[in-house]
Amino acid sequence: MTPAGHLWIVGLGPGPAHWLTPEAAQATAQASDLVGYAPYLDRLPPRAGQRRHASDNRVEAERAALALGLAADGRRVALVSGGDPGVFAMAAAAFEAIERGPAAWRALGVEVAPGVSAMQAAAARLGAPLGHDFCAISLSDNLKPWAVVARRLAAAADGDFVIALYNPASLARPRQIFEAFDLLRARKAARTPVAFARAVGRADERIVVADLGAADPGLADMSTLVIVGSSETRWVARDEGRAWMLTPRRYGEAR
Ligand code: SAH
The percentage of residues in the chain with a pLDDT greater than 70, rounded to a whole number, is 97
Q: Is the CB of 200 under 6 A from ligand 1?
A: yes
Give me the long-range contacts of 26-33 (CB less than 8 A, separation at least 24): 27/78, 27/111, 27/113, 28/78, 28/80, 30/76, 30/78, 31/76, 31/77, 31/78, 32/75, 32/76, 32/77, 33/67, 33/70, 33/75, 33/76, 33/77, 33/78
Residue at which a domain ends, from 116, 139, 167: 116
Q: Which of 16, 8, 63 shows the shortest CA–CA distance to 37?
A: 63
Residue 239 maps to a domain = yes
Query: What is the total count of domains within the chain?
Result: 2
Report CA(124)–ligand 1 centroid distance (Å).
14
Residue 13 and residue 86 in one domain: yes
241 plus 137 within the same structural domain: yes
**Beta carbons of 132 and 251 less than 8 angstroms apart:** yes
Q: Is 92 in the pocket of ligand 1 (CB under 6 A)?
A: no
- Cα(43) to centroid(ligand 1), Å: 15
Q: Are 162 and 227 in contact (CB under 8 A)?
A: yes
Q: Which of 58, 60, 117 is nearest to 84 (CA)?
A: 117
* Ligand 1: centre distance to CA 222 (Å): 8
Q: How many CB atoms lie within 10 A of CB 75?
A: 19
Q: Which domain holds residue 34?
A: 6-116
Q: What is the pLDDT of residue 252?
A: 87
Average pLDDT on 65-76 reads: 97
For ligand 1, the distance from its centroid to the CA atom of residue 224, given in whole angstroms, is 7
Q: Is the pLDDT of residue 101 over 60?
A: yes
* Residue 177 falls inside a structural domain: yes
196 Cβ neighbours under 8 A, 6+ residues apart: 206, 207, 208, 209, 210, 215, 219, 220, 224, 226
Residues 101, 135 within the same domain: no
What is the predicted pLDDT for the residue at 67?
Answer: 97
> Does residue 90 sit in the same domain as residue 150?
no
Domain presence at residue 253: no
Ligand 1 centroid–CA 134 distance in Å is 17
Q: What is the CA radius of gyration of the chain?
A: 20
Is pLDDT at 208 greater than 70 in this prediction?
A: yes
> Is the entire prediction scored with pTM above 0.85?
yes
Whether residue 1 is contained in a domain is answered as no
- 15 Cβ closer than 6 Å to some ligand 1 atom: yes
Strands (E), 204-253: 206-211, 224-228, 234-236, 244-246
Taking only the tens place, the pLDDT of each residue in 109-153 is 999 999 999 999 999 999 999 999 999 999 998 889 999 999 999
In this predicted model, what pLDDT tens digit does every residue of 167-178 receive, in sequence order? 999 999 899 999
Could you tell me which residues are beta bridge partners of residue 6? 76, 109
If asked whether residues 32 and 69 sit together in one domain, one would say yes
Residue 255 lies in a domain: no
Mean pLDDT calculated for residue range 210-224: 97
Q: How far is the CA of 239 from the centre of ligand 1 (A)?
A: 31
**Parallel, antiparallel, or unpaired: how do β-strands 6-11 and 109-113 relate?**
parallel
pLDDT at 141: 86
Could you write out the DSSP letters of every residue in 165-179?
A: EES---SS--SHHHH
Chain-centre distance of CA 167, in angstroms? 8
DSSP lists the bridge partners of residue 194 as 210, 228
88 SS3 class:
coil
Mutate to test the pocket of ligand 1, among 143, 223, 226 (most ligand atoms within 8 A of CB): 223
Average pLDDT, the chain: 95
Whether residue 237 sits in one domain with residue 220: yes
Contact 89, 81 (CB under 8 A): yes
**73 CA distance to ligand 1 centroid (A)?**
32
Atom 9 of ligand 1: nearest residue by CA position: 167
Residue 255, pLDDT above cutoff 70: no
Same domain for 144 and 92, yes or no, is no
pLDDT at 194 over 60: yes
In this structure, what CATH number is given to the domain that contains residue 87? 3.40.1010.10
pLDDT at residue 86 tops 80: yes
Question: Is 80 exceeded by the pLDDT of residue 2?
Answer: no
**pLDDT (0 to 100) of residue 58:** 67
What's 178's domain CATH number? Answer: 3.30.950.10
**Residue 13 domain flag:** yes
Return the bridge partners of 138, or none. 166
Instruction: Give the residue whose CA is nearest to atom 18 of ligand 1.
Output: 118
The CB of 176 under 6 Å from ligand 1? The reply is no
Question: What atom of ligand 1 comes closest to residue 138's alpha carbon?
Answer: 5
